[in-house]
Amino acid sequence: MGEIIVVTSGKGGVGKTTTSASLACGFAKRGKKTVVVDFDIGLRNLDLIMGCERRVVYDFVNVINGDCTLKQALIKDKRFDNLCVLAASQTKDKDALTQEGVAKVIDELKAEFDIVLADSPAGIERGAYLAMYFADRAVVVVNPEVSSVRDSDRVLGIMASKSRRAEQGQGPIKEHLLLTRYSPERVEKGDMMSVADVEEILGVKVIGVVPESPDVLSASNSGVPVILDEQADAGLAYADAVARLLGEERPMRFTEPKKKGFFQRMFGG
């Protein structure tokens, strides 16, 4: 039986889909049979970040409605043959995701794959709620910024109060934080909350810290998840997070300011 990991945040634009895509490739690269599912019904985007947007034929809602089989809807990744993507539907019907429908698809995926990654939409409405409800573990993506931290706390509260695991007596969802858009230089200046600050406020441990980096935009521009860019700090940070999610110990990187040269120190920048 596979494990269901939800990538969520409450607030939009913090890097959920970027994170889902990178974690999915990371798990696949580590030999785990992985599927990543886009729960953002109406606003499909994971396919673009994964670079498979032109190969979407059927989607999540098609499977629920029985328009196709699950196998027909799964898009095989071109880079890893143990990685699949299930795209979100672009329907405007808010009720397209039903709890029973999602349960059926999720359980079928769980039987087939080692890791089922659920890419949650922003907000706390049905798509987000269902992505969280079935999860065994949660990666809460958070920016070191007030509204993102507050929304993360709301999401953690929702997961603690209602989940299938808890209802089946398997204990609560295991929670992790993943800090993105982190700038150690700004933390040092006192302009940005630190890893320790965010951990203290939310009472949850950080599983990875991804530095603010232009490589993330380049990666989504080209449809190649940033984890596959081995020159990029952000990619290496995601690879560390994957290793930690698999139970390995890895020291945190990219949390200290980079050493500056003489001229940079004199003139800033």
Partner 1 sequence: MGLLDLFRSRPKNTAKMAKERLLIIVAQERSAQSAPDYLPLLKRELLEVIRKYVNVDPDAVHVDVQREGDQEVLELSVTLPEGK
Q: Where on the chain is the footprint of partner 1 (CB under 8 A)?
A: 144-146, 149-150, 153-154, 157, 161, 187, 189-194, 197, 200-202, 264-269
Least distance in Å: CB of 157 to partner 1? 5
* Alpha carbon distance 156, 228 (integer Å): 30
Which is closer to partner 1, CB of 111 or CB of 146?
146
Which is closer to partner 1, CB of 161 or CB of 221?
161
Q: Which amino acid is at 85?
A: V
Least distance in Å: CB of 169 to partner 1? 21
- DSSP H helical ranges for the chain: 16-29, 46-50, 60-65, 70-73, 99-112, 126-133, 146-161, 164-167, 184-189, 195-202, 214-222, 233-245, 262-267
Q: Which amino acid is at 174?
A: K
Which is closer to partner 1, CB of 197 or CB of 248?
197
Which is closer to partner 1, CB of 11 or CB of 244?
11
Least distance in Å: CB of 115 to partner 1? 30
Q: Which amino acid is at 169?
A: G
Which is closer to partner 1, CB of 123 or CB of 223?
123
- Dihedrals φ, ψ of 7, to 5°? -110, 115
Asked if 110 and 98 count as a contact pair (C-beta separation under 8 A), the reply is no
Least distance in Å: CB of 163 to partner 1? 15
* Alpha carbon distance 160, 249 (integer Å): 26
**Sheet of 34-38, strands arranged across:** 75-76, 83-86, 34-38, 115-119, 3-8, 137-142, 174-182, 206-211
**Tokens representing 267?**
């003139």
Question: C-alpha angle with apex 137: 199 to 114, nearest 5 degrees?
Answer: 140
Least distance in Å: CB of 78 to partner 1? 42
Which is closer to partner 1, CB of 177 or CB of 232?
177
Which is closer to partner 1, CB of 209 or CB of 224?
209
Least distance in Å: CB of 265 to partner 1? 7
Least distance in Å: CB of 253 to partner 1? 21
Asked if 217 and 51 count as a contact pair (C-beta separation under 8 A), the reply is no
